[in-house]
Structure 1
Amino acid sequence: RSATTNQQRHLLNHELFCSAFLLIETHTHTHIYIYNLSINAFDYNCHIDLIKLLKQEGELVRLRKARQKMSELFPLTEEIWLDWLKDEIRLTEEEPNREKVYELFETAVIDYICPDIWLEYAQYSIGGMGSPGGMDKVRSIFERAVTAVGLHMTKGHVVWEAYREFENVMLSTVQPPPGRILNHEEQELLKTQIERIHTLFRRQLAVPFMDMEATYAEYDEWSEHGVADTVIHQYKKALQQMAKCKSFEEALIVAEPPKLAEYQSYIDFELKEGDPARVQIIFERTLAENCLVPDMWAKYTTYLDRQLKIKDMVLSSHERAVRNCPWTMGLWKSYLLALERHGADHQTVSDVFEKALNAGFIQATDYVEIWQAYLDYLRRRVDFSKGEKSSKELEELRGAFSRSLDYMKQDVEERFSESGDSSCIIMQIWARIEALHCKNIQKARELWDSIMTKGNAKYANMWLEYYNLERSYGDPLHCRKALHRAVQCTSDYPEHVSEVLLTFERVEGSLEDWDVAVQKTETRLNRINVQRAKVAEKEANLAGQDVGRADQRRKTKADKKGQKNVQKGTRAGEKRKAEQDDNSGTKRHRGNGNQPSEYMETETGLSGRNAPPGYKPAAHGNKRAAAAVHKQNDDDDKPELRNDNSSVFISNLAYTLEEPEAKLRTQFETCGPVKQIRPVFGTKGNFKGYCYVQFESTVSVAEALKLDRREVEGRPMFVSPCVDKNKNPDFKMFKYNTSMEKQKIFISGLPFSCNKEQLEEICKSHGTVKDIRLVTYRSGKPKGLAYVEFADEAQASQAVLKLDGMCVEDNTISVAISNPPSRNMDKPGSHRLMTDMPRQVFGARGRGRTQLSLLPRSLHRQSGSVSKVENGTAAERMPATASEALNAAGETKPLSNSDFARMLLSK
């Protein structure tokens, strides 16, 4: 008995210990969650875990605080709200105060469109009908419910039915018992109540719902006089609308969450239908299941901003958007604009902006954009006509500019290791406001001095922006000073800045000013050229070192390969000797033993010496031999056209061109009698995009060359003389200039849909557009690049300053003065490139895909004597010897095979 008692005591102690341990562990986890939230209050999952843990503990007071804290930071889902509301309803059963629950319901219905929460709200309000005005409050809540979720096609009918059920109960209270006659007042009350139910039926049958036929049957049975014709008409229209939407609803039923694609199709359909109420409800249904998709919130708020424009609805949706996706800067920016658009007070806008700064954006540039949006708002509040000193708003604007710079320097740089505003856009805007509106050019100059000290002094476009500011609001003295500083500091495009200075002195300066400008620009450019030459020399030395190491590796590899060949040859000799011994001197062949050795060698591609006349290799034979035969046939045919002075070479044709011979004949018959057109096809019969055209007379060639660049099915056709490159290695096919074109700009980042007309419309406001060339692939698809030629250099420079960074169809374009690199007609990485190019330039293994050439373009352009070829392309002088090529490393173009052959023969 004593042992049993002790065992029970031990079990009881063990249970008490486990309970105490679990309690301690629970409290420990609670403190951990609270500590984590003190560090990061926006940890959504931590909030959820803390609420679950507190509910398990029964800590109702702390549970309420935890839910309130989470609700302040995030919208809560339907499940969380219902759980919270049911707990609060149970707590208030003992308390007479129902207003707290009403306030909680009002907060809950704001976050999302949830029919279940509205139904719970209405049912809870029924319990308070006994209080003064209780019945009116119930009807008010039901009306708000059907307005909010009454169009929900799958769940809205539940709210309608609850509303009618409530009114039916009210009808039973005013109906007299059998045998009693009602007085006039009671009859009017009964009639009014019956009309309420009729009205609810009519309203519900005018709205498309799933399974709305049952509601119609119920109304038909309930109504004493049947269904009115007008109600039937509305009901049929709703049935037609429901039939249109049925496929979308069925797709949502079978789809897996989050059903974003199905909802997007549904939204597109409703937008075409154009019913604002239905568009709104489908957006709300989408966001209830995809609340963390910023693009969907952006589409919804944009629709409300542009279509409905109802203040309360618009601002409420913007607020919900930033609460759901606080990390998305675009939603905060739209919210600020909506507040200003609907006349919100200044304090509200400022509070929203402060919340945006604490939202935790994912990149530094987001902070720059939100500051710009807020500064734009403050600038629009200033009435500059009042003067500089009498404006309180102006002082606030200046204070905000100053604070934004400090914020970028301290907060943003510490978080992202960059300011996000490398070009100092905010300071540039501030300087322009000071110069334009406040007439304070001195402050603008101070700001620009600060901009240049932040690493922007080496960029020509920054100096030209400063120069334009001085040109517009300053004086010639400071313009000259800015340009002189630009010439000394610019490192990316010093030639362009020098040209601007000389142009300025031509217009404004004296002879002495002109001499000083010429001296400074020449000195600076000479210094730049020396620096570029040193860089090129250093690159050449590094390339030479790479060649030495590559030669050593190649030699080692060749030695190892030689040893393997010797060993392999020894084994092969022993094997042949063994076979000869086994077969008594008779040689056998594997495969078809009856086939002579000559035919076997021909079929395997080893030799074709003994093949019979007209023999063709089998389809399964050696492909290399077959390709060689095709190439030989091609080479046999080409000299007839290539060496004929009456022929032209046509290229850049579309690969998909059907019947090229017939189409080209119609193009070139106007130039003279055509003797032959030979399009070139691949081994599989596909057109390769080029052909040869031979005329009966050499006079026709000059006329044919005039057709160069004529479009053939949307692509420019290249027409050039038929020249054998082996005999004329200096002939260049590239037809565009490879030097700096100061009157022409290069644009990148264009949308692929942009055409010449659209680009001309963009550029013509900055000068006279002489020519536009869109760059395309061989297939004709655009690359998003273009060259635009203006009348002079000044217009091109102005276009660079105004168009660089401009948005074209959501694409940010980059614009610069045209400075195309020297062209090599061979593709990088090809076999010809590896053989034509000196090995000391790229190293033993050739040029890698990501290897950069550090040789400045100006050194390429300065090398050699330049002559003009027939097509207008500058051709550089090629070195005659290998030593000359090595002495000019980095300054001449790579040698071709024919150049090396000529050098070897000259030895």
Structure 2
Amino acid sequence: MAASSSAEQTQLQDMEEEDAGMEEREMESDGDGEEEGMGVENSDDEEDESSEDEKENEAEIQRLEEQLSINAFDYNCHVDLIKLLKQEGELLRLRKARQKMSELFPLTEEIWLDWLKDEIRLTEEEPNREKVYELFERAKKDYICPDIWLEYAQYSIGGMGSPGGIDKVRSIFERAVTAVGLHMTKGQTVWEAYREFENAILSTVQPPPGRIPSREEQELLNTQLERIHTLFRRQLAIPLMDMEATYAEYEEWSEQGVSEMVKHQYKKALQQMEKCKPFEESLLAAEPPKLAEYQTYIDFELKEGDPARVQITFERTLGENCLVPDMWAKYTTYLDRQLKIKDMVLSTHERAVRNCPWTMGLWKSYVLALERHGADHQTVSDVFEKALNAGFIQATDYVEIWQAYLDYLRRRVDFSKESSKELEELRGAFSRSLDYMKQDVEERFGESGDPSCIIMQIWARIEALHCKNMQKARELWDIIMTKGNAKYANMWLEYYNLERSYGDPVHCRKALHRAVQCTSDYPEHVCEVLLTFERVEGSLEDWDLAVQKTETRLNRVNEQRAKVAVKEANMARQEDDRADHRRKAKSDKKSQKKVQKGTRAGEKRRAEQDDYHNEWNEDSEQAPKRHRGNGDQATEEYMETETGLFGRNAPPGYKPAPPGTKKAQQGVADPAQRQNDDKPELRNDKSSVFISNLAYTLEEPDAKLRTLFETCGPIKQIRPVFSNKGNFKGYGYVQFESPVCVPEALKLDRREVEGRPMFVSPCVDKNKNPDFKVFKYETAMEKQKIFISGLPFSCTKEQLEELCKSHGTIKEVRLVTYRSGKPKGLAYVEFADEAQASQAVLKMDGIDVEGNKISVAISNPPRRNMMDRPGSSRFTSDLMPRQTYGSRGRGRTQLSLLPRSLHRHSAPAGKVENGTAAEQAAATASAPANAAGETKPLSNSDFARMLLSK
């Protein structure tokens, strides 16, 4: 056997030397030809051009290197630098660039294959091949790629002449078929390469024709034949595409034929392949990234229950969808719960966080997996530190990752000991987490991320339960309450339960008394808990004190609630009074205007109104031309609009009385009646849209609107609204032949028209639908959409789309503008999924755009009703109500005409300096005033009573 092995190695070395000599001769001949060609073709012009190109490329390389020194996480910058260095042939600098990128990001299959081939060429003259082997080992960790495994095996064949080389090749092939041999479409290539290698070995151990092999040679030959038989049997037992050809090849190769067992396994695999074939065909027909098709395939394999096939399907999916956090989470969860193989589980978790570092859930699962598989403490701590630097997109993500790490540290502590290194480390981690939340998270997000102080609550409970240190627990709860939580009943009850479990009755009573004084959301519940506690634990004096405190507190709460209710009622009444005043003033103004115009203007209005009705009754596609006068008007503004009255022309669907009737002759003598007649017909018209925010200087608005909306469907009428002086008021109506055209018209909302965004909304009666909102944007977090601020005002939608398209598939780009159309420097960009949006945040935040440093974040707009926020004017108005004035408004001097002796000085709310509460109530009733402290106007009888009382 030893002699045969040495002869085998000698023969292989001779074959390699012969091949190397042939390659060397070919390279020399090619080099001579190139030198001759260069000597003929080179010229001074070409040398100058090449030198200029080299200078430009070198300048671009330096620029990219400087940018990476500023932002090392710019993925596209890494890719561009590698391409330029490869083009220039700077192999050493290229190696460093690839190395730096691989430390930060997983590399794609194409980048790895280029790198490996370049390294193979660089090390052809070196006897040590271990560097390339190490690079292959790194490459296979990023993704399960059949092409990389195939390149790895083929490279190892080149070194099989060295001691142990054949065994190394076999081990690499075995790992390859284990990793990717189940790949339905590419696994067959790896199996065939493995068989070709074993066939080549077979040819070296076969004796020459005519010579009888020795016993050792025959054993070696039989062993090699059995290896090839085994490879065929293993491959035929796996469902692969085109496996029928492999079976035919085995029938032809095997001299003993195919055994029944192999046939049975082959038929079973063929049936499985037929089941999988529809999924493979759907993948071939689909466009990348094929996420939906892969998801269906995974669900099928999960039902089948073959762990190896589930794993390879997940790997294929992630090869094309490596930035989808949900897919990584699903894969790692499956490995954690089903396979539980340490190396496989931990390597997959590591790949997951490298691909999607912004996803907190993947880091959290990684920390748990490390603890589950017994990783050393330093490894877990290092992973946690990397998670803190990953750049999460929400403040709450940092709270959760800290909680996961603190849970891990708590499970390491042996609390049976009074003090230990692990306990001190746990306390130090709790303290550090609080500092981190205050210094890092609040500065970055503007919020703590842990408003309920969950971390401190857990710390306090650990100190009380495990360490028997109630003093420390109470100190922590004091800090919790000072952070704005003292007004919540549930926080006080949580503290009370802690004292009840691990403290003493004295501190329980103290906590409940403080809760009664501070709670503002559910004071009744806290009072009830205090009384129940005293029923069980307290003395008579304790009970009396608890009853007194609860009654006092509840009385004060009821008074405050009553005042708030009165304030709200008064504000509503004041708003109604102001509305009545506005309506009355508007009606008086119109009446005065009608009186001033006189009889002659009325005659002119009736004549022009008859002409106007005739024009609107004509069946033509074009709307009638508007009559524009100077002083006198053809019609009055009694038509209703979306917010009030129409302009001078009738709305879509308006049907005036036929000429000659009494109503037509009267014209607009009764505006209110005319408004009531027209309004229902318009509001029920579902085929119209309301157009607004157009420029007042818009020329020929009829033609402009027709041009904009004629693509939406057949138009029945177009009516822009004009003022009394004939000027366009910036809004109007478009009525279509059919309601199906309205959704298409609404898509033109925010279309820019002469520098202003045009608003398009449905024609809805807001009196009947007061809650109807025309423009609705999401106020919740939109993980697939990013918000960009700090853009230059000159940035266009096309420029922004060009800037963002390299980070994913863009669905919509919206620049935020004022009503005038001027940009605000803000924009929203919606991507196909949240993974692309998260990647865009990482890559674009802080970059320079035309001299402006932009900020990029996941879209999380605030609530529209800013009055609900603490510190807004709503709360200020409750404390300091706006002053109201009489029907004539605020006077110039604001002098009071009431004699000083009749002034009544109101005492502050809630205080009774003299007299009883009943006397104060009587005084309040005698001087009418609202809850805001505003004195109502006094009548003559009020003045008379006040004077007589003096």
Of 134, 141, 147, 1:103 maps to 134
Residue matched to 1:450: 479
User: Contact 2:412/2:422 (CA < 8 Å) preserved in 1?
Assistant: yes
Deviation at 1:76, TM superposition (A): 1.1
Deviation string for 1:420-473 (max 9, x for gaps)?
111110000000000001100001001111111111112111111111111111
Q: In structure 1, what is the equivalent of residue 277 of structure 2?
A: 246
2:511 paired residue number? 482
Q: Does 1:527 align with 2:517?
A: no
Aligned to 1:408: 437
User: If the length of structure 1 is used for normalisation, what is the TM-score?
Assistant: 0.61
Cα deviation 1:487-517 (Å, max 9, x = unaligned): 2222222222222222222222222222322
After superposition, what is the alpha-carbon deviation per residue over 1:227-255, rounded to whole angstroms, capped at 9, x for unaligned? Answer: 22211111111110011001000000000
Segments of structure 2 that go 5 or more residues without pairing to the other structure are 1-42, 620-655, 664-677, 682-863, 869-873, 879-924, 933-950
Amino acid at match of 2:216: E
Q: What is the SS of the residue equivalent to 1:338?
A: helix
Distance 1:15 1:546 in 2: 84
Task: State how far apart, in whole Å, the 2-side matches of 1:18 and 1:253 are.
Answer: 45
> Deviation digits for residues 37-96 of structure 1, max 9, x if unmatched?
334333222221222222233322222122112212221111110011011011011222
Alignment partners' CA distance in 2, 1:211 and 1:577: 85
Is 2:529 the counterpart of 1:462? no
Distance in 2 between residues matched to 1:77 and 1:483, nearest whole Å: 62
Q: Of residues 322, 325, 328 in structure 2, which corresponds to 1:291? A: 322
Secondary structure of 1:226's counterpart equals coil
Q: Among 74, 96, 101, which residue is 2:105 paired with?
A: 74
The residue number in structure 2 matching 1:711 is none
Deviation at 1:28, TM superposition (A): 4.0
- The answer to whether the 8 Å contact 2:570/2:930 transfers is no
User: Residue 518 of structure 2 aligns to which amino acid in structure 1?
Assistant: C
Per-residue deviation at 1:531? 3.7
Kept after mapping to 1: 8 A contact 2:570/2:931: no
User: In the TM superposition, what is the alpha-carbon distance from 1:281 to its structure 2 partner?
Assistant: 0.7
Instruction: Give, as a single letter, the amino acid of the residue that structure 1 aligns with 2:514.
Output: R
Q: In structure 2, what is the Cα distance between the partners aligned to 1:495 and 1:576? A: 68
Partner of 1:313: 344
| Per-residue CA distance 1:668-719 (angstroms, 9 max, x = gap) | xxxxxxxxxxxxxxxxxxxxxxxxxxxxxxxxxxxxxxxxxxxxxxxxxxxx
1:422–1:573 Cα change, 3 Å: closer
Residue-by-residue CA offset, 1:172-198 (whole Å, 9 max, x unaligned) = 112222222211111111111111111
In structure 2, the residue matched to 1:262 is 293
| 2:393 corresponds to | 362
- Assess, with a 3 A threshold, how the Cα gap between structure 1 residues 281 and 569 changes in structure 2: closer, same or farther: farther
Equivalent residues in 2 for 1:175-574, closer than 5 Å = 175-385=206-416, 387-389=417-419, 391-558=420-587, 570=603, 573-574=606-607
AA in 2 matched with 1:300: Y
CA distance in 1, matches of 2:324, 2:187: 25
Equivalent in 114, 127, 135 of residue 145 of structure 2: 114
The yes-or-no answer on 1:48 pairing with 2:79 is yes
- CA offset at residue 24 of structure 1? 4.9
Q: Write the deviation string for residues 286-313 of structure 1: whole angstroms up to 9, x where unpaired.
A: 0111111111111111111111111111
Structure 1 residues 578 and 68: CA distance shift in structure 2, 3 A: closer
Asked if residue 60 in structure 1 is aligned to residue 88 in structure 2, the reply is no
Q: Distance between the aligned counterparts of 2:563 and 2:372, measured in 1? A: 59
User: How do residues 6-25 of structure 1 correspond to structure 2 at under 5 angstroms?
Assistant: 22-25=53-56
**Using the alignment, how far apart are the partners of 2:365 and 2:540 within structure 1?**
55
Contact 2:563 2:931 in 1 (8 A): no
Alignment deviations for residues 761-789 of structure 1 (CA, whole Å, 9 cap, x no partner):
xxxxxxxxxxxxxxxxxxxxxxxxxxxxx
Q: Secondary structure at the match of 1:209?
A: coil
Q: CA deviation at 1:575?
A: 7.6
* Distance in 2 separating the partners of 1:14 and 1:534: 92
What is the CA–CA distance in structure 1 between the aligned matches of 2:418 and 2:609, rounded to whole Å? 104
3-state DSSP of counterpart to 1:210: coil
* Aligned residue type for 1:72: E
State the alpha-carbon separation in 1 of the partners of residues 423 and 611 from structure 2.
Answer: 104
Distance across 2 between alignment mates of 1:292 and 1:577: 69
Quick check: 2:567–2:931 contact (8 Å CA) kept in 1? no
Deviation string 1:5-53 (CA, Å, 9 cap, x unpaired) is xxxxxxx999888766655544443344334333433322222122222
Matches within 5 A, 1:811-826: none
Distance 2:300 2:468 in 1: 54
1:416 Cα offset (Å): 1.0
- Do the aligned partners of residues 578 and 159 (structure 1) sit closer, same or farther apart at CA in structure 2, a change above 3 Å counting? closer
Report SS of the residue matched to 2:184.
coil
Equivalent residues in 2 for 1:692-731, closer than 5 Å? none
Matches of 1:299 and 1:320 in 2, distance apart? 14
Distance 2:566 2:236 in 1: 87
**Aligned positions, number:** 601
What letter is aligned with 1:29? E
Which consecutive residues of structure 1, in runs of 5 or more, have no partner in the other structure?
A: 1-11, 580-588, 592-599, 608-621, 626-847, 857-882, 891-907
Q: Is the 8 A contact 2:156 2:169 kept in 1?
A: yes
Q: Whole-Å Cα distance in 2 between the matches of residues 257 and 888 of structure 1? A: 68
Distance 2:268 2:49 in 1: 67
Letter of the 2:510 partner, please give it.
K
Amino acid at match of 1:157: Q
Fraction of identical pairs, as percent: 81
Cα deviation digits, residues 186-215 of structure 1 (max 9, x gap) = 111111111111111111111111111111
Change (3 A) 1:573 1:112: closer
The residue matched to 1:75 in structure 2 has which SS? coil
SS of residue matched to 1:299: helix
Q: Which amino acid aligns with 1:309?
A: K
Q: How does 1:723-742 map to 2 (within 5 A)?
A: none
Distance in 2 separating the partners of 1:488 and 1:14: 91
Correspondence 1:813-892 to 2 at 5 A: none
Distance 1:576 1:116 in 2: 83
CA distance in 2, matches of 1:364, 1:74: 24
Q: Give the partner amino acid of 2:221.
A: L
Q: Which residue of 2 aligns with 1:759?
A: none
> What displacement does 1:349 show?
0.9
One-letter amino acid matched to 1:523 = T
CA distance in 1, matches of 2:657, 2:186: 81
Alignment-derived partner of residue 597 in structure 1? none
Asked if the contact 2:297/2:313 (under 8 Å) is kept, the reply is yes
TM-score (norm 2): 0.59
CA shift digits 1:106-162 (9 cap, x unpaired):
111111111000000000000001110001111111111111100000000000011
CA offsets, 1:366-402, max 9 Å, x none?
Answer: 01000100110111111111x222x221111111111
3-state SS of 1:252 partner:
helix
User: What's the secondary structure of 1:384's corresponding residue?
Assistant: coil
Comparing 250-259 and 184-193, the one that deviates more: 184-193
**What letter matches 1:211 in structure 2?**
D
Letter in 2 for 1:388: E
